[in-house]
Structure 1
Amino acid sequence: MKKLSICFLLLISLSVILSGCFAAQEELKTVRVAEVTRSIFYAPQYVALSQGFFEKEGLKVELTTTWGGDKTMTTLLSDGADIALVGSETSIYVYQQGSEDPVINFAQLTQTDGTFLVSREKIEDFSWDDLKGRVFLGQRKGGMPQMVGEYVLKKHGIDPHRDLELIQNVDFGNIPNAFASGTGEFVQLFEPQATIFEMEGIGHVVASFGVESGHVPYTSYMAKQSFIAKNEEVIQRFTNALYRAQQWVYEQPSEEVAEAIAPFFEDTDHDVLVQVIDRYKAQASYKPDPLLEKSHWELLQDIIEEAGELKERVDYEVLVNTTFAERAMSQ
């Protein structure tokens, strides 16, 4: 009888533990995130997912890749997502269209441009003057990569529309293939294509647009003002998890980071992942914390203004909320 009682008590204890586990799972708050593209450039985000940092904050993140800034912002504005990961310039464009519910930047993920200048020929002592009179395969007009590209060229005394032959009519997804097929003597490429081209001998990285342009809020997390007002705790937990991931990326060797994000890049070789992560870490493209700084915001607008795409400058305090980042960093 005594043995039966003990067994009964054990069964009750086990059921309580299991029910507690299921309850904990049910308590996870679902957050829908739309990312502008799938990129190693966003490594901290995938680390937060793979290492369970969001779950530890009580969040279940549903990630969708929306492929393009316009589509990402449309998804957010139409309530197809709660949070968007996209270039901060999109929040400015929405605001300038007279939105009654502006999109607010609350956490920054990357702080440099993510593109590199790739030369078809190997150049030992590269100078930006080497671009003069050459054929340059650039990015889409009006897009952030192209605006940064032109900003850097002008910084080095090069008029992108007079001093070289600038090609801008190739679709973003076809730029690598166009260069590989013989178009252009120089090309502006994202990773991992720049590293892959180096490995295959198709091209050679000679400069980084991210290093040359300086720190900008190149990619940030944002949400509609109304959503943030109603879900402050969710935004805080999300930012806490992100900050932990940002720190983890810099604390761990690139091999470990590559292992952590590999499930999100099944078609990319491990060695390529490691090299790309190394390159982005070396130039501090991954922001080590989620705080969007005012100087970064102003430089972003300088670049957009220089490209002729900015109707009017928007004050930092209007579209940036640093409360959640500051709290996450102070814990």
Structure 2
Amino acid sequence: MQRFHVSATGHSLNYLPEYVARWQGFFAEEGLNVSASVPSPWDLVLDDIGAGRAEAALGGIWVPSMYLGRGPRYTPFAQVSARAPLALVGRRGAPAFSWEALPGKVILMKGSNGASVGLFIKMLLREHGVDPVRVGFVQDLDGKMLAQLFAGGMGDYLVVDSPSALTLEAAGGGVVATVLAASGGDVPWSVYYAPGESDAARLAVQRRFVRALGRGMDWVLAHEAAEFRGFLVETFPRFDPDHLVRLVELYRAHGMWTTPRIDVAGYARWQRGIADGHLTAAPLPYEVLIDGRATEVSAAL
């Protein structure tokens, strides 16, 4: 077996196809011993791939985007999730959620694990004709702290991962206003990237990884969540099993998992959001940042 270690920015439900591919033996059938770790702080994923402790980092494509031409070259070669796994939690008794009604409101969203959350919410506001300047944000604090403060009365909305949103709602701490996997549209939310350019040997390994990952996606899409409830409980013991099953079904229905190939249209949309967030001077053309060779084999199967 050949080692393939993933240094990930989290342990998340939207990474499910990778976990399933390991569980079902798809990686092993490709001759890969795939493992994963979640370093703290999250940006140690860059040290891990730079030092060869990991074959890939898993996280937001905004990182390779903002580094291009400014530092080390990080090359995305596949995606695992094509939608944002976030939800907005509002106050009980609030009017039905509308982006157009958010001017003057205050949104709490964590800033301790990267820029994706803020970039995405502000992009959605602009897409709905709302200038983010007209909305108040608290986003320089840890997610757990913000959840406590929201429960204590701070802000009008809280942006959190969807499992946490359902947990908060069940505890009476708010109402899920919108689940962005359903309402937020396509973006390459979580991608695998490696340092530099891949030579033939590394590309061959990435292709094997991608083939197995694609089989993991296909397996999840072919099986209702209730069929593998036990695996979900084992993999995500912090969350209510009913919430996990509900979210997997929602993710399956709304295109969270499609193909390992990074979608061109979703990429272009997300690049505009990244550029509008001033992480890049302008949206980066697909072929400038992405190495699509590893997913060509997957797409052909």
- Determine if the alignment matches structure 1 residue 65 to structure 2 residue 35: no
Aligned equivalent of 2:119, options 138, 144, 147: 147
**1:33 positional shift:** 0.9
Residue identity matched to 2:23: S
Residue identity matched to 1:220: V
Whether the 8 Å contact between 1:148 and 1:209 is mirrored in structure 2 is no
Question: Cα deviation per residue 1:55-114 (whole Å; 9 max; x = unaligned)?
Answer: 111111121112455222232123221111111111112223143xx2221111111122
Larger Rg: 1
| Equivalence for 1:22 | none
Aligned equivalent of 1:218, options 175, 189, 195: 189
Aligned equivalent of 1:235, options 195, 201, 206: 206
Residue identity matched to 2:105: R
| Equivalence for 1:282 | 253
| Equivalence for 2:262 | 292
Structure 1's 91 and 295: CA in aligned 2 closer, same or farther, altered over 3 A? same
Whether the 8 Å contact between 1:37 and 1:68 is mirrored in structure 2 is no
Choose 296-305 or 224-233, whichever is displaced more: 224-233
Residue identity matched to 2:245: V
* Distance in structure 2 (CA, Å) of the matches to 1:30 and 1:246: 21
SS in 2 for 1:161: helix
SS in 2 for 1:93: helix
* Distance in structure 2 (CA, Å) of the matches to 1:312 and 1:128: 25
* Distance in structure 2 (CA, Å) of the matches to 1:280 and 1:152: 19
Residue identity matched to 2:125: L
Aligned equivalent of 2:240, options 259, 269, 275: 269
SS in 1 for 2:132: coil
Structure 1's 68 and 311: CA in aligned 2 closer, same or farther, altered over 3 A? farther
- Determine if the alignment matches structure 1 residue 330 to structure 2 residue 282: no
**1:195 positional shift:** 1.0
Whether the 8 Å contact between 1:121 and 1:204 is mirrored in structure 2 is yes
Question: Cα deviation per residue 1:129-149 (whole Å; 9 max; x = unaligned)?
Answer: 432322221332971111110
| Equivalence for 2:290 | 320
| Equivalence for 1:183 | 154
* Distance in structure 1 (CA, Å) of the matches to 2:240 and 2:20: 17
Question: What are the ranges of 5 or more consecutive residues in structure 1 without an aligned counterpart?
Answer: 1-27
SS in 2 for 1:111: strand
* Distance in structure 2 (CA, Å) of the matches to 1:195 and 1:153: 23
Aligned equivalent of 1:112, options 56, 60, 83: 83
Choose 233-242 or 256-265, whichever is displaced more: 256-265
* Distance in structure 2 (CA, Å) of the matches to 1:199 and 1:282: 23
Residue identity matched to 1:49: R
Residue identity matched to 1:153: L
SS in 1 for 2:281: coil
* Distance in structure 1 (CA, Å) of the matches to 2:198 and 2:291: 13
| Equivalence for 1:20 | none
| Equivalence for 1:132 | 103
| Equivalence for 1:33 | 6
| Equivalence for 2:176 | 205
**1:224 positional shift:** 2.2
Structure 1's 175 and 50: CA in aligned 2 closer, same or farther, altered over 3 A? farther
SS in 2 for 1:96: coil
Residue identity matched to 1:145: V
| Equivalence for 1:56 | 29
- Determine if the alignment matches structure 1 residue 305 to structure 2 residue 275: yes
- Determine if the alignment matches structure 1 residue 160 to structure 2 residue 132: yes
- TM-score normalised by length of structure 2: 0.91
Match runs of 1:62-101 below 5 Å: 62-67=35-40, 69-99=42-72
Residue identity matched to 1:147: L
* Distance in structure 2 (CA, Å) of the matches to 1:158 and 1:257: 41
Whether the 8 Å contact between 2:6 and 2:35 is mirrored in structure 1 is yes
Matched residues, number: 300
**1:153 positional shift:** 1.5
**1:257 positional shift:** 4.0
Residue identity matched to 1:188: V
**1:281 positional shift:** 2.2
Structure number having the greater helix percentage: 1
**1:120 positional shift:** 1.5
Residue identity matched to 1:165: G
* Distance in structure 2 (CA, Å) of the matches to 1:321 and 1:156: 32
**1:124 positional shift:** 5.9
Choose 239-248 or 85-94, whichever is displaced more: 85-94
Structure 1's 84 and 293: CA in aligned 2 closer, same or farther, altered over 3 A? same
* Distance in structure 2 (CA, Å) of the matches to 1:188 and 1:280: 18
Question: What are the ranges of 5 or more consecutive residues in structure 2 without an aligned counterpart?
Answer: none
